[in-house]
Structure 1
Amino acid sequence: MEAEVITTDLIVLGSGLAGLRAAIEFDKLSNGRYEVSVISKVQVMRSHSVAPEGGAAAVMQKGDSFEQHAYDTIKGSDFLADQDVVQQFVLDAPGEIVQLEHWGMPWARDSEGNLLARAFGAHEVPRTYFAYDRTGFFLMKTLYDRAQAGKNIKFYHEFFATAIIHDGTRFRGLIAMDRATGNFFLFKGKALIMATGGIGRIYKYVTYSHTVTGDGLAMAYRAGIPLKDMEFIQWLPTTMIPYGIPATEALRGHGALLLNAEGDRFMKKYAPRKMELAARDVVTRAILTEIKEGKGVEGPRSMKAVLLDTRPVGEDRLKSIYKTFRENAIQFLGKDPLDEPIPVLPAAHYSMGGIHVQGTELATPLKGVFAAGEVANVSLHGANRLGSNSLPACLVTGKWAGRSAFAYISALNSDVLVDLTEKVKVEINKSYSLIKKENGSSTVYDIRNEVQTIMEDYVGVFRNEDGLMDALKRIKSLKESYKEVYVRDRAFDYNLEWVHAHEVTNLLDMAEVITNSALNRKESRGAHFRQDFPVRDDQNYLKHTLTTFAIEGPIITYIPVTITKWKPTERVY
């Protein structure tokens, strides 16, 4: 079958914060001269970017400084962040807060009209700006409204992208399925900005929406673009079991306590200075260690947990700026956090790893392809991201990517026609083969459940060589089993099982990459903790992991970390 061709200038794949910000910046610079096509897996306001509650970190007040924000970020990264990138990020973040305000973002304010900032983990001063506990929603609403008012921005809702098309050195197009019809389209463009988010649904217990399946990462990887630092996965320490609903870190910034079954405020053992506001990897390991030592409480569905006591936050705050949190606790747990602690457990929350890009230009090694947001590894977060750095990172990198894509397209000379027919046909036939197979020994959901179980059990918070080797062996076996997968639903229109079959391909490829990267990093750093190598090893592993696709399996190489000012020291919270 053939694909219908849509010719455009810039393709933005992903409609979350980074994608929208990139489209807006490009459209502003081009003044309508070039067309932007935003391709979204879901309706835009169903992007996972609506979910974040906590806020956006930026230096906006007296008593704070760019240097302090940069150091907090670098220390939190366990010194794996590229310091030149961090320094530019902290300079640019405040401008995004102000810009969003000008576009109508309803930031929370005090009685005198000043923007409110609250404390977040591993930030030395309160610098997190928020819109009550719906920050992500309001950011998305503001940016989507702005993008719709753009001069030359078109949206393609519910299109599922399957492959990047290139000529070996340069981007040429993107293949995507219209989920409403099952028809395939070739978007021919001059440049592509990847803004597809993370890989969260590779685990079982997560904070992510069901659509976050590493699609952009897998497409880039199969197109020959290296992925960087994929072994680093972050867990959010406090989520409501058994649903993975975040109990925002901001609660701990306003005094919420973590308690074990004995009523002990256990963080004093692990981070005596910062306590509940230590870096996320530190708090996550502390919670799971308490549970492992038999000090957890029994939660719903017999899940072990610790307790989050939010009563110190105060009734006024719980009924106002944490209204959504309280409503969720009452509805899903049957507990009012005004009256009693709630059971919480860490859940997979963020991927520090992503598509390898250069500096603040965000260009990948494939000409014409850029990346922004969680899908991009800008070397900003290193081995552990600070809470409330992700939202400004999406905004700042979105702006950077839009700017870089505009410069790239503006500098292009007259194009040389390239025949893409065969490449497109091969990719589309791969997709149709999934739905045409009459029978098979496995379903999409058998494979998905198994890969999530493997990752949860062996490539989670605590890792060791035996577990990682076993995981890698089982993932490779699953990739063979996937060849026998068949899609039972034969419809073309809105066939979710067909979409899920593509997603599982992406999950399998990324599971292999993450596990392989974790196996080869024989140290503990940030969110990557090896029980058999429990100490950070700067002599051998102060470097970024690059993973490149090969038919025989992932190829790993390393590149140095950029250090401009702060030499690595032991992290103490």
Structure 2
Amino acid sequence: MSIPTRHFDALIIGAGGAGLNAALQLATADIHVAVVSKVFPTRSHTVAAQGGVNAALANVLPDNWHWHMFDTVKGSDYLGDQDAIEFMCREAIPTVYELEHAGVPFSRLDNGKIYQRPFGGQSQDFGGDQAARTCAAADRTGHAILHTLYQQNIRAKTHFFDEFFALDLVRDKEGIICGALVLEIETGEPLLIEATATLLATGGCGQIFRTTSNAHINTGDGCAMTLRAGVPLMDMEFYQFHPTGIAGKGMLITEGVRGEGGFLVNKDGERFMERYAPRAKDLASRDVVARSIVTEVKEGRGAGENGDYIYLKLEHLGADVIEKRLPGIRESSRIFAGADPVREPIPVFPTAHYQMGGIPTDRFGRVVIPAKYGAEEVISGLYAAGECACASVHGANRLGGNSLLDILVFGRLAGKDIIEYVRANPHRRETDPVSLEQAMARLTRWERKGEGVPAHQLRAEFRKCMEDHAGVFRTEEVMAEGYQKLSELRERFKDARLGDQSKVFNTARIEALELENLIDVGLAVAVSALHRKESRGAHSRPDYPKRDDVNWMKHSLYYRDGDRMDYKRVRTKPLTVESFPPAERTY
């Protein structure tokens, strides 16, 4: 069949903070760039980021990028690439000022400088007082940044393909990535977009879990596309559960609530975090707080009729502070928890929030795969940035406020590197018909008629299985059982069918395509977790309770082919520890 084709210098899949910041660099350099997004750009998940973006501006308390770097390395449980972390923390300061000049309406101090609040895992010095490093626009920082970047892209005349779903990457006859096959959701018709360089900025995969703070669009599309292209995913066992999701719902209650002075209590009104993190208390690292909450509930100190959550108290802050600095949290709590935080505590419990692993990249956003002798091979023309990518700045656990920073810094750097790549490779590449046919097969398989398993039923079973077998605490027995169930679900998926095979705005077909991505990425998480026999950061195994730097100070690589793990050829560069050698991680 003949498929309509468009040609661009650069193709960006995903219109969140990473994609839009990269696009802005390209468009302002007169590079012909297209941005594909399955939702309107300002509905991308960056809009949900609440608390702020980290940068050592020292507007409130003394601070320095070295302290920011130390906190990030410590937060990563010493698995992060210290070279990349240093680069990110140094770039944080000019990045925030660039955003300010672009028009981001940050909250202000009385002296006019950007307002900064304390966040979890921050220290003023090496083990000292809590810093105030997180630059905030009330509790809607991601919203402010995303809208500003979108407006700047409109000014720069970036070409947007709104409500288009990326089916798969395509290659030319030499095997080089040369764009993607996408599907227009409104019409159900495919479109081939060819480009010299392709950037994946598709965000996270929180929808692999039943209870999550992530939007419905976070289905791991970019990670799944790279797996199908033969690229491994790195460190997928490290999945962060944010400690304060609205109990039973999963909607996020920002860490900024605790940064402003809120605190957690159990059913007895006890501030239990003093037991688990005597110094940092409620502002310990997220993995520490999440495990503490689950432990309180498991040991019978949970609140509510079923004892299955704890309380987040902030009524002592007063209505004025809450309305000025946490207006969105008050609104969310009223709607989804039925609690007005001005008068009563919010019921909270950990919710699936963020993937630390992803597509392996260098600090310029170039996708890399391991080569011999610990070296890296750059995949020509393919880039990744944001939550779907793993430049190894988060290691085993991400600090709050470093996610917005990650997408902005590395989205910007990827954009700048793509400019050089496009100028060095001016000749257009044409898609290999075999590659295009393989990409089309993802779509045409849903045209099969007859009896089969309903796709939506499989999706519900899959997400429950992930939540039950790859949650906050993991053991060999639980994860092995989960892997068996997930493997069976993958086999049943081959016989999945759609009841509605119409084309126009068929959201059931989009969800079925997403389900294939979810299964691939979910298995990457489950298999990686099963193989790592230690506790490190967000990966907590009661059967291996200690961090094992002798045997496991290394990254994991998961290959879709045969659910294969690779540790022998994993790159060694991210394990640089010269600046801050591994130490016991306490708060």
Deviation track 1:359-410 (CA, whole Å, cap 9, x = no partner) reads 3453434210011111110100000000011111111011011011111111
Give the SS at the match of 1:347.
strand
| Other-structure match for 1:431 | 443
- Which whole-Å CA distance do the structure 1 matches of 2:20 and 2:571 have between them? 31
- Which whole-Å CA distance do the structure 1 matches of 2:32 and 2:135 have between them? 33
361-370 or 88-97, larger mean C-alpha shift: 361-370
User: Given residue 88 of structure 1, which amino acid in structure 2 is its aligned partner?
Assistant: F
RMSD between aligned residues: 1.4
- Which whole-Å CA distance do the structure 1 matches of 2:438 and 2:262 have between them? 55
User: Given residue 164 of structure 1, which amino acid in structure 2 is its aligned partner?
Assistant: L
Aligned residues: 564
Matched, 1:44 2:30: no
User: Given residue 432 of structure 2, which amino acid in structure 1 is its aligned partner?
Assistant: L
| Other-structure match for 1:329 | 333
| Other-structure match for 1:117 | 116
Q: For 1:470-481, list aligned pairs within 5 A.
A: 470-481=481-492
- Which whole-Å CA distance do the structure 1 matches of 2:244 and 2:36 have between them? 33
| Other-structure match for 1:566 | 580
Say if 2:37 and 2:165, in contact at 8 Å, map to a contact too: yes
Q: 1:37 to 1:358 in 2, by over 3 A?
A: same
| Other-structure match for 1:219 | 225
Deviation at 1:303, TM superposition (A): 7.1
- Which whole-Å CA distance do the structure 2 matches of 1:396 and 1:469 have between them? 38
| Other-structure match for 1:157 | 162
Partner residue of 2:534 out of 514, 518, 523: 523
Deviation track 1:393-445 (CA, whole Å, cap 9, x = no partner) reads 11101101101111111112645x655122212321331221x2212331111
Deviation at 1:332, TM superposition (A): 2.6
Deviation track 1:275-320 (CA, whole Å, cap 9, x = no partner) reads 0000000000000000000110126xx5710011112323211122
Deviation at 1:170, TM superposition (A): 1.7
Deviation track 1:494-553 (CA, whole Å, cap 9, x = no partner) reads 111101111110111111111111111100000001111110000011111112232x33
| Other-structure match for 1:401 | 414
User: Given residue 381 of structure 2, which amino acid in structure 1 is its aligned partner?
Assistant: G
Identity fraction in percent: 38
| Other-structure match for 2:87 | 88
Partner residue of 1:281 out of 282, 287, 294: 287
Deviation at 1:355, TM superposition (A): 0.3
User: Given residue 564 of structure 2, which amino acid in structure 1 is its aligned partner?
Assistant: P
- Which whole-Å CA distance do the structure 2 matches of 1:313 and 1:274 have between them? 19
User: Given residue 554 of structure 1, which amino acid in structure 2 is its aligned partner?
Assistant: R
| Other-structure match for 2:401 | 388
Say if 2:57 and 2:63, in contact at 8 Å, map to a contact too: yes
Q: TM-score, normalised by structure 2?
A: 0.94
- Which whole-Å CA distance do the structure 1 matches of 2:536 and 2:95 have between them? 30
Partner residue of 1:350 out of 321, 332, 354: 354
Say if 1:239 and 1:344, in contact at 8 Å, map to a contact too: yes
Q: 1:6 to 1:444 in 2, by over 3 A?
A: same
- Which whole-Å CA distance do the structure 2 matches of 1:169 and 1:432 have between them? 23
Say if 1:546 and 1:559, in contact at 8 Å, map to a contact too: no
Matched, 1:318 2:322: yes
Deviation at 1:183, TM superposition (A): 0.6
- Which whole-Å CA distance do the structure 2 matches of 1:282 and 1:497 have between them? 38
| Other-structure match for 2:67 | 68
| Other-structure match for 1:468 | 479
- Which whole-Å CA distance do the structure 1 matches of 2:210 and 2:186 have between them? 28
Deviation at 1:556, TM superposition (A): 2.5
Say if 1:549 and 1:555, in contact at 8 Å, map to a contact too: no
- Which whole-Å CA distance do the structure 1 matches of 2:225 and 2:356 have between them? 18
Deviation at 1:471, TM superposition (A): 1.1
Q: 1:38 to 1:484 in 2, by over 3 A?
A: same
| Other-structure match for 1:4 | 4
Say if 1:227 and 1:356, in contact at 8 Å, map to a contact too: yes
| Other-structure match for 2:309 | 305
User: Given residue 189 of structure 1, which amino acid in structure 2 is its aligned partner?
Assistant: A
User: Given residue 11 of structure 2, which amino acid in structure 1 is its aligned partner?
Assistant: I
| Other-structure match for 1:553 | 563
Say if 1:51 and 1:136, in contact at 8 Å, map to a contact too: yes
- Which whole-Å CA distance do the structure 1 matches of 2:297 and 2:202 have between them? 34
Q: For 1:199-218, list aligned pairs within 5 A.
A: 199-218=205-224
Deviation at 1:169, TM superposition (A): 4.3
Q: 1:366 to 1:303 in 2, by over 3 A?
A: farther
Q: For 1:225-244, list aligned pairs within 5 A.
A: 225-244=231-250
| Other-structure match for 2:268 | 262
Say if 1:224 and 1:549, in contact at 8 Å, map to a contact too: yes
| Other-structure match for 1:492 | 503
- Which whole-Å CA distance do the structure 2 matches of 1:22 and 1:263 have between them? 47
Matched, 1:271 2:271: no
Say if 1:25 and 1:399, in contact at 8 Å, map to a contact too: yes
- Which whole-Å CA distance do the structure 2 matches of 1:460 and 1:521 have between them? 15
User: Given residue 434 of structure 2, which amino acid in structure 1 is its aligned partner?
Assistant: E
- Which whole-Å CA distance do the structure 2 matches of 1:548 and 1:374 have between them? 19
Q: For 1:9-28, list aligned pairs within 5 A.
A: 9-28=9-28
Deviation track 1:206-242 (CA, whole Å, cap 9, x = no partner) reads 0011010001100011111221100000011111122
Give the SS at the match of 1:113.
coil
| Other-structure match for 2:375 | none
Matched, 1:131 2:143: no
| Other-structure match for 2:147 | 141
- Which whole-Å CA distance do the structure 1 matches of 2:317 and 2:206 have between them? 30
Say if 1:107 and 1:129, in contact at 8 Å, map to a contact too: yes
Say if 1:2 and 1:425, in contact at 8 Å, map to a contact too: no
Say if 1:165 and 1:423, in contact at 8 Å, map to a contact too: yes
Say if 1:225 and 1:366, in contact at 8 Å, map to a contact too: no
Give the SS at the match of 2:243.
strand
Deviation at 1:264, TM superposition (A): 1.0
- Which whole-Å CA distance do the structure 1 matches of 2:150 and 2:430 have between them? 35
- Which whole-Å CA distance do the structure 2 matches of 1:105 and 1:419 have between them? 40
249-258 or 314-323, larger mean C-alpha shift: 314-323
List runs of 5+ in structure 2 lacking aligned partners.
Answer: 124-130, 369-377
Give the SS at the match of 2:278.
coil
Say if 2:169 and 2:439, in contact at 8 Å, map to a contact too: no
Say if 2:359 and 2:390, in contact at 8 Å, map to a contact too: yes
Matched, 1:166 2:178: no
| Other-structure match for 2:202 | 196
